Structure 1
Amino acid sequence: MRHKNQLNHPALLPLWKSLERDWFLQLCAILLLLCVGFALVLWGMQASPLVLSLAIMLVVAGGYLCWMHFRQPTALERLQDRLYDQPASVVWVYGIVQQHHPFGLQINQRGILYFKFSDGDEQSVYLPPEKIKLISKVLSRALPNTVFGYTKERAAQYAQNPRFVE
């Protein structure tokens, strides 16, 4: 029960919000595909049968993606299920910060927090770089049997046996 209380820590809000934002952006992309498809259907009825058939394929693909988007559990639900219900399945967590320096000028940076599971599955979450350390600290208290931080040795151990990382 103690680890569940720690997983409700306010410092984890950026983690949950990032996963919600990813789900929403995917939905926006799918809806854009549907709108383009419907617009092409209207134009294709007057233009040519080839445009119309391509437009219908876009609409069908968009409809299928939309249906699957709502049918499958979200990344947020999958991660929370693992963290709350199966905390022992989380074997390794690490974060990295990617910095983009074209022509020697730092343009932007983004953080990615990786979750590695005992069944070989993994999940990554984009986060503001300044939040990764605090989120990792809170998660380390909630998941005492999980290894935190990246090393080449841990990567090799995980590649050999996902259940055993030290």
Structure 2
Amino acid sequence: MKKSWLIIILIIIGFGGLYFFSKSHSPQETNSNQASQNTQTPVSSSQYSQNTNPETQNLKADTIEVVHFHATQQCWSCITVGKYALKTIEEKFPDEYANGKIVYKDINVESPENKEIARRYQATGASLYINAIKNGKDFIEEDTTVWRLINSESQYTTYFEGKLKTLLGT
């Protein structure tokens, strides 16, 4: 008899814990008017830090390498980070892209022939690095902000264009 009461109490505690856990981890409710206002908030190029590396804040790069590292099998996010970066470069910086001032590289970190460049950038998985080269010196920086912007191509483009313009000194 005591054993069955113990089992019932444990079941009740278990369900109570599940209920509490689901309530504490569910998103906050908003009214539909407020939710519709928050879905497409425009981003200015200054909303996200354009350049957090003090060494490159006033740098006018001779060349910029944008390097998209990825695995052989890519998810939608990994593909999109590279796709939007290349599209921004091609559309917003066509002259710089054509003359090699901005270079885009798509690198599979799992390929043996890319081992050295992955080591140089310290890339082990999906990532986007920007190397601002000035007087032959590399200023390599991983850009993690782009991952937060992949759900809005226009916000990604605005941010990334601003970042590249800052590094170009324009």
TM-score normalized with structure 2 length = 0.26
> Quick check: which has more Rg, 1 or 2?
2
Structure with bigger RCO (C-alpha 8 Å, 6+ apart): 2
TM-score normalized with structure 1 length = 0.27
User: More helix per residue: 1 or 2?
Assistant: 1
